[in-house]
Amino acid sequence: MSETIGVGHVDPAAARAVAVAYADTPTTRDPFVAAAYARLVTESDRLFRQLTAPDRPGRVRIAFTTCAAPYADADELIRSVRHDRLLEVASVVTRRDRHHPVMGNDLGGTYDRFRGVHDVLGHARLRLGFDRDGEFAVWRSQERFHSPLARRALATELHGQHSVYWTTGDLAEPKAMLLDPRLLRRSVAASLANSSTTSATSSTTKGTS
């Protein structure tokens, strides 16, 4: 359950644009938005069942807890999943300010399960932390497990919410909305450009040292 992936550098301007779009767009009952979230829930639950199946080699036990912070940091979470095959997810059930408008908020509900899948397939599998570049890389990698429709909602949940946090320092209010695909393409392109520039600068420095 390991993968090597390049960690791109988040572009601040692109992140700000995403954060503004997220903050300015309210939750909507638009049928297309509802369909995207329904697909994300369906696909996340399928992944959850695969990861936790008793007969699966290397299965991960995912437990839901009302403890606000079951891990001190990302490294502790990663060690627990990779070595103990256990992930504890801090449920949103007791945190009304973190309740999602369309995903289930009960203990071990659809929102909790989605977050558990994110931690296992993202942070633990890739061994990446909760910093802005780590979260960006996790989002880009996790897209591979979802259909195009589900990816629209996934981008809101991961890149949208994290962009608000990176930009303002505040947790984003959970919403059901879809970001403009042009903003998402800009984020990815800017990250790739930043990564290429960093690599080129590093190579030049090594060559002249």
Please report which confidence band the pLDDT of residue 199 belongs to, taking 50, 70 and 90 as the band edges.
very low
Mean pLDDT to the nearest integer, 82-93: 98
Query: What local confidence, expressed as pLDDT, does residue 61 receive?
Result: 98
Tell me how far apart the alpha carbons of residues 25 and 44 are, in angstroms, rounded to a whole number: 24
- In the block, tokens 């502790």 appear at 76
DSSP 8-state code for residue 52:
H
Query: What local confidence, expressed as pLDDT, does residue 8 receive?
Result: 73
Tell me how far apart the alpha carbons of residues 78 and 173 are, in angstroms, rounded to a whole number: 26
Tell me how far apart the alpha carbons of residues 102 and 89 are, in angstroms, rounded to a whole number: 19
Please report which confidence band the pLDDT of residue 209 belongs to, taking 50, 70 and 90 as the band edges.
very low
- Note the pLDDT tens digit of each residue in 171-187: 999 999 999 999 999 99
Tell me how far apart the alpha carbons of residues 187 and 202 are, in angstroms, rounded to a whole number: 22
Q: Give the E-state strand segments of the chain in sequence order.
A: 61-65, 86-90
- Note the pLDDT tens digit of each residue in 148-173: 999 999 999 999 999 999 999 999 99
Q: What percent of the chain has pLDDT over 90?
A: 87
Please report which confidence band the pLDDT of residue 201 belongs to, taking 50, 70 and 90 as the band edges.
very low
Quote the distance between the C-alpha of residue 119 and its chain's center: 8
DSSP H/E element including 26: none
Query: What local confidence, expressed as pLDDT, does residue 194 receive?
Result: 76
Query: What local confidence, expressed as pLDDT, does residue 193 receive?
Result: 87
